[in-house]
Structure 1
């Protein structure tokens, strides 16, 4: 009888212990499925003038109102910049995206530019941003940036506009 009680306690202890998984705190990729709009961009840092050229592509203001499409099952997607000033041109870029668990406790959203003849595995560099908040219909990311040698963060707020995933 003692052996049976001991075995039951051992099994119970192992079944209740937490499992170590690198994806345990990562958000589910299915949260991003659909079409999203960048509804807000703000700068966090010391007081002063900020100018951010995001993702080696365009001024941060060109991303406000832009559309991002995420397909979770294969990590494909795209984004489009908006034409909201004289410095912004309409631009659409295909991407491959994923989540990465970082050492600072935040999950990172990462992506690479891809194209018709360019596969993600052949692209050596990409972009990362810390996910500050994420839900079924909203995501906030923090993009590290620098202007005139001064570091600051660009905070981008995304709101889901549709479950549509047309590329």
Structure 2
């Protein structure tokens, strides 16, 4: 009995001492940030069922409106901006703050008005396939209770 109580308390102690680093940790991956700095065009947005299902990207517009959008990523101050200028969609321009945490997650906040700089909400996406001329951001979406990957393909401008 004493042995089982000791084991249970020891297990709780070990789990309680485990380091917890949130996804939005301020520890950054500077190497990847420097690799993607610059001007880009979002060349495609793809996900399963994209011909039939509409996905709202970043709570701004339909994902198809983002195709052709222009993005700027400045790595030394983690600022940037993007502009939607798709002829069949409403135009939208916004500044952003962004960084890539040590887990390779792209953390972005859209700053579309002066009060938004104080917001704690943002978007967390996976970064993958980083090259000199392109990279992908992958968001996790939910369609009918099923998780899907929404892939944003960026090409250097």
TM-score range, shorter chain: 0.7 to 0.9
Ranges in structure 2 where 5+ consecutive residues have no aligned partner: 1-25
What are the equivalent positions in structure 2 for 1:40-51 lying under 5 Å apart?
Answer: 40-44=44-48, 49-51=52-54
* Residue in structure 1 matched with residue 96 of structure 2 by the alignment: 95
Instruction: Return the structure number with greater helix share.
Output: 2
* Residue in structure 2 matched with residue 32 of structure 1 by the alignment: 36
User: In the aligned structure 1, how far is the partner of 2:143 from the partner of 2:116?
Assistant: 32
* Residue in structure 2 matched with residue 64 of structure 1 by the alignment: 67
What SS does the corresponding residue of 1:35 show, helix, strand or coil?
strand
The TM-score normalised by the length of structure 1 is 0.69
Q: Which has the larger radius of gyration?
A: 1
1:147 is displaced (CA, Å) by: 2.8
Ranges in structure 1 where 5+ consecutive residues have no aligned partner: 1-21, 162-167
What SS does the corresponding residue of 1:89 show, helix, strand or coil?
coil
What SS does the corresponding residue of 1:50 show, helix, strand or coil?
coil
Name the CA shift for 1:96/1:24 in 2 (closer, same or farther; >3 Å).
Answer: closer
* Residue in structure 1 matched with residue 18 of structure 2 by the alignment: none
| Stretches of 4+ aligned residues off by more than 4 angstroms | 22-26
Q: How many residues align?
A: 132
Instruction: Give yes or no for contact 1:51–1:147 (8 Å, CA) kept in 2.
Output: no
Q: CA RMSD in A?
A: 2.6
Instruction: Give yes or no for contact 2:29–2:100 (8 Å, CA) kept in 1.
Output: no
